[in-house]
Amino acid sequence: MKPALRTICIGAMACALAAGSAADTRAQQTKSVKKVQAPRCSAGATTRLVRYKVERGEALPAAIPKPLTRKPGDAARGLEAAADPGKGNCLACHSIAKALAKADQSDPQSVRTYGNHGEVGPPLNGVGGRYTPGELRMIVVDPKQAFPDAETVMPAYHARKGVKDVVARCRNQVMLGAQTVEDIVAFLEELK
Ligand code: HEC
């Protein structure tokens, strides 16, 4: 009987300990979940689709020569938005030397944000010399129109075609707002 009792006792203690640590873990999880923002329609700042006119480009069959906003794009903010995994996440598919140069090697968070580049798409170095601002805008807004033969995997950041089953409150919302698109285009223009 005695050994059995001890076993039960040890088991019970182990259970109590396990229950305690599970409760602690749950409390920690609840705490960290509270810090995470509620789901939004898009990862970037949710904004309505802005109307734009598509014209013929020089190197590409389509371009949007007129900016989407009156306020000119800010290249420094464009780099931030391009690197931000919750916004452009462009580095998931493209390497950009200018972003890499911003990675602070002594800061793991900075290295994660600016120093982690994929190669699904071509490197974007020099892209400001290869395309007009209107073409760059078209590529970011809706790359399927910019590269009609490619069936590209690049997302359309400011377009609402080809999607269904969207939560009702998110209809007509786009991945990146017009001003963020302009910021990114300003940044790309500087990559010469
Ligand atoms: C899922 C991967 C993916 C993401 C994310 C992505 N792209 Fe692309 N991008 C591509 C691919 C692939 C191409 C090449 C076109 C093709 O053949 O599909 C491309 C092409 C381009 C080009 C033309 C490059 C050239 O030299 O012709 C530019 C400019 C560009 N992307 C900018 C961006 C920007 C800016 C972002 C973020 C806002 C971004 N891309 C996000 C995959 C991606």
Query: In this predicted model, what pLDDT tens digit does every residue of 60-119 receive, in sequence order?
Result: 999 999 999 999 999 999 999 999 998 999 999 999 999 999 999 999 999 999 999 999
Question: pLDDT > 90: what percent of the chain?
Answer: 65
- Closest ligand 1 atom, residue 90 Cα: 37
Does the pLDDT value for residue 32 go beyond 70? Answer: no
Q: How far is the CA of 93 from the centre of ligand 1 (A)?
A: 7
Mean pLDDT of the chain, nearest integer: 84
Look up the CATH number of domain 47-189: 1.10.760.10
The residue extents of the domains of the chain are 47-189
Does ligand 1 lie within 6 Å of residue 126's CB atom? no
For ligand 1, the distance from its centroid to the CA atom of residue 144, given in whole angstroms, is 11
Q: What is the pLDDT of residue 169?
A: 77
Place of tokens 């493209």: 94
- Identify whether the C-beta of residue 190 lies closer than 8 Å to the C-beta of residue 99: no
Atom of ligand 1 nearest to the CA of 130: 26
104 CA from centroid of ligand 1 (Å):
25
- Would you say 136 and 186 are in contact if contact means Cβ atoms under 8 Å apart? no
Q: What is the DSSP secondary-structure string of the chain?
A: -HHHHHHHHHHHHHHHHHHHHHHHHHHHHHHHHHHSPPP-SSSS--EEPPP---B--SSSS-B--S-SSSSPP-HHHHHHHHH-TTTT-GGGT---HHHHTT--TT-HHHHHHHS----SS---TTHHHHS-HHHHHHHHH-HHHHSTTT---S--TT---S--S--GGGTTEESS-HHHHHHHHHHHHT--
